[in-house]
Every structure is written in structure tokens, then in C-alpha cells.
Amino acid sequence: MRTQVAIIGAGPSGLLLSQLLNRAGIATVVLERQSRDHVLSRIRAGVLEWGTTELLRAAGVGERMDREGKPHDHIHFGVNGQLFRVDCHGLTGRRLMVYGQTEVTTDLYAAQDAIGGTIIHGAEDVALHDVTSDRPRVTWVKDGERHDLSCDFIAGCDGFHGVSRPTIPAERRREFEKVYPFGWLGILSRTPPVPQHMVYVASESGFALCSMRNAMLSRHYVQVPLTDRVEDWSDARFWDALTERLPEEVRAGLVTGPSIEKSIAPLRSFVSEPMRWGRLFLCGDAAHIVPPTGAKGLNLAVGDVFYLQEALVEHYATGSMAGIEGYSTRALDRVWKAMRFSWQLTMMMHRFPQDTPYDRRMQDAELSMLLDSAAAQKAWAETYLGLPY
């Protein structure tokens, strides 16, 4: 087999890259280890930056998002029982969109089907070869038969545990990691969101978050120790913990109900440099992981896709390698700025086991600096809504 760009991974970043490249006349083959049903069953984030929504529209997959998604203009902070509102739209002129990652993936699959995109599911034992040459290859096994794909470039959109990042020699990689000493216990419930829609809470008992997926689907979280198990948390215990942490004004509008999904996500920050090795490019979780605080994970992956498709389109149109050679530097600049934002918000809103009274006062001071200053709110909102590409 032969194609121009081989894409490893059929998550939203791999599918979006394939969609953008095919619309520019660049052929792709997408390889995915899991089934399509499995990919679409993943429960992930649901807050899209303004740049993400713009790129989805440019890819021809924004119609259902614009029809069914919920524009998101502001965010609330609950701090020591008080509720504060930050008017993100008023400060920046931009909006977020509440639209689940599963819905984005569904739309991208439909768009790929419509243009006849090549997506191969059930691809086992994927391996990348000769990535520093001008004739890289990808091999895999499907139904017991080995396949070989030659290509011009390879995009590794296969997540943290995929084969793409380890293809870069260990001695050529620099990895940076921070592991946080707690996790988020999250539940999905068929209940209306709180009236404030999105509320980040810092309380003496720990962090909490109320968020929405749609008018009758809510996603809520509470900070828990890493030693906790999902089995330790009944629905009743979860709702009690969440209610206890919320300001009274939010608590009054909270509707509880049975969970339809419950999980604990550990929090960590991770970056691998470089994001390009020869003709292999890393996108999304293959190169970086952010805590869910601030909803940067999917949006960062989309930023990577923007830079990569721009570089590839330029190359095939003009023969230039400038964008390709600059991809890692451009992407990492945006990645580290988003990392800083997510790290700062995580440090400011959570209770750490080793916190001293001084540390608590510093958290309070950080929050006061944000909530008492219009200039600080504007700078915060600009990053929350999404840095420009």
C-alpha cells in the first residue's frame, strides 16, 4: 500500500488531521487498534476552545456542533463558600462551546465516511520504520495477515501508550513530568446542570467541579486521594461530598440522580520533546498530557493538528520544508503555555496533603489576585478561551 500521510490513531486528532488533509487533496490512511464502537464509547471532555470550533468548521464538521452545542460565555469560581463570576465573553469577545468529545468524534467519522476516507480498525502490532529517511513505512497485522504501508510522512496521534513516541530514540527524547497526589472522581448523570453551568470550587474539603454536557446531562467531579477506588464511592456518598463543597447558591440549584458512568482520573502533567523526529510527528497525548483542570487536553491536540496540517499543505503545494522543520518548536511553545495555565489552576484550586497554613494563605492570595483584578481576569480568560495559533 502507498499513501502520502499515514496517521496512527483514530481519535479526534487523527480523524481531524485526516479530514483537513483530504479536503486539501492530500491522501491519508488512518490506522486504529480498537474498533470504531470502542473509539466512540470513550467518555472524554466536552469544552471546546474558540480555535477548536473554528477549525472544526473549517474541516466541514461544525454543523451539528453549532446546532446542538451550548455556547459558554462565563465561568464561576466558588471560593470559601463565596461565588464569583468571570465574564469570559465580555473580556475577550470569544466563546467556548460545550460539546462532548464523543460527539466531535462521531461527526468526524461521518465526515470521513462521506469523503471515502481510509480508516483501518483492528490494526495490531503497529510498527514505524525508517522515519528519518525520505521513505518511511508503517507495518501492522490485521486478521493474522501482515501489511506494509509506504508513505511520505507519519503522524502519531495514538496517545500516551501508543507506538509513536517510543519510536523516537530514548537518548533523543526529553520528558518532563509532574504527578499530582490526588485524582478526580467524576460521575456522569442524566440531570440538568446547575444554573451557573460551569463552577470551579476550592473548599477546605478539596476541589470540586460542576459542568454540563447538554440540557439533561451533567458531569461533576470531586478531588479524592489516589488510594480511593470507584467501588468506595456510592452515588449517595458522591453527592454528599459534592454538596458539602459547593457554595450555597450553587447547592440550591443542584439536581442529583443515579450515575450512568463513574471513574477516577489521576492528575499529571507530561511533555515529551521534540514533537518531530525525521518524518514522524507527534500530536496530542502522544506528546503531552495535562490535568483536566482548565479543559486543555483535546484543545491542545487540535492545536497540534492545526500546525501540522498547515505545514503539510504548504509542503505539498510548494515543496517547502520550513513548516515541517518548525512544527515541533511552534507546537511546543503553545503546549508549554497551556501547561502553565493548567498547572497554575490546579495548584490554586486543590488541597495538597503536604499543605502548610502558609500554603493555604498563598492559594487564597492567588485566587484574590484573579478575582479582584479585571486585568488578571482578562489575561486568564484569554488563555482559558484558547491562545491563538
Looking at residue 152, its pLDDT comes to 98
If 0-12 CB within 10 Å is exposed, 13-18 middle and 19+ buried, where does residue 142 land?
A: middle
Residue 341 sits in the same domain as residue 372 = no
The single residue of 76, 220, 288, 296 carrying the catalytic annotation is 296
Q: From the CB of residue 367, how many other CB atoms can be counted at a distance below 10 Å?
A: 17
Q: Catalytic: 200?
A: yes
Q: In the predicted model, what is the mean pLDDT of residues 219-236? A: 96
Residue 42 has pLDDT above 90, yes or no: no
How many domains does the chain contain in total?
Answer: 2
Residue 167 sits in the same domain as residue 135 = yes
Its pTM stands at 0.94
CATH number for 227: 3.30.9.10
Q: Catalytic: 72?
A: yes
pLDDT tens for each residue of 264-316: 999 999 999 999 999 999 999 999 999 999 899 999 999 999 999 999 999 99
Residue 256 sits in the same domain as residue 332 = no
The single residue of 292, 307, 315, 327 carrying the catalytic annotation is 292
The single residue of 99, 109, 180, 384 carrying the catalytic annotation is 384
Q: Catalytic: 384?
A: yes
Q: Is residue 78 part of a domain?
A: no
CATH number for 47: 3.50.50.60
Q: Catalytic: 220?
A: no
Closest CA to 194 of 209, 210, 208: 210
The single residue of 109, 180, 200, 307 carrying the catalytic annotation is 200
The single residue of 72, 76, 220, 350 carrying the catalytic annotation is 72
User: Which contiguous run of DSSP H or E holds residue 48?
Assistant: strand 47-48
Q: Catalytic: 178?
A: no
Preceding amide of 274 cis, omega within 30: yes
Residue 78 has pLDDT above 90, yes or no: yes
Residue 44 has pLDDT above 80, yes or no: no
Query: Domain limits at 162?
Result: 5-72+97-177+268-346
Are 72 and 98 contacting, i.e. CB atoms less than 8 angstroms apart?
yes
Q: Alpha-carbon distance 47 to 71, whole Å?
A: 10
Question: With bands split at pLDDT 50, 70 and 90, how would you rate the model's confidence at 241?
Answer: very high
Contacts with 102 (C-beta within 8 Å, 6 or more apart), sequence order: 40, 41, 42, 43, 44
Residue 246 sits in the same domain as residue 370 = yes
Residue 14 sits in the same domain as residue 129 = yes
Residue 43 has pLDDT above 80, yes or no: no
Contacts with 291 (C-beta within 8 Å, 6 or more apart), sequence order: 180, 267, 268, 269, 342, 343, 346
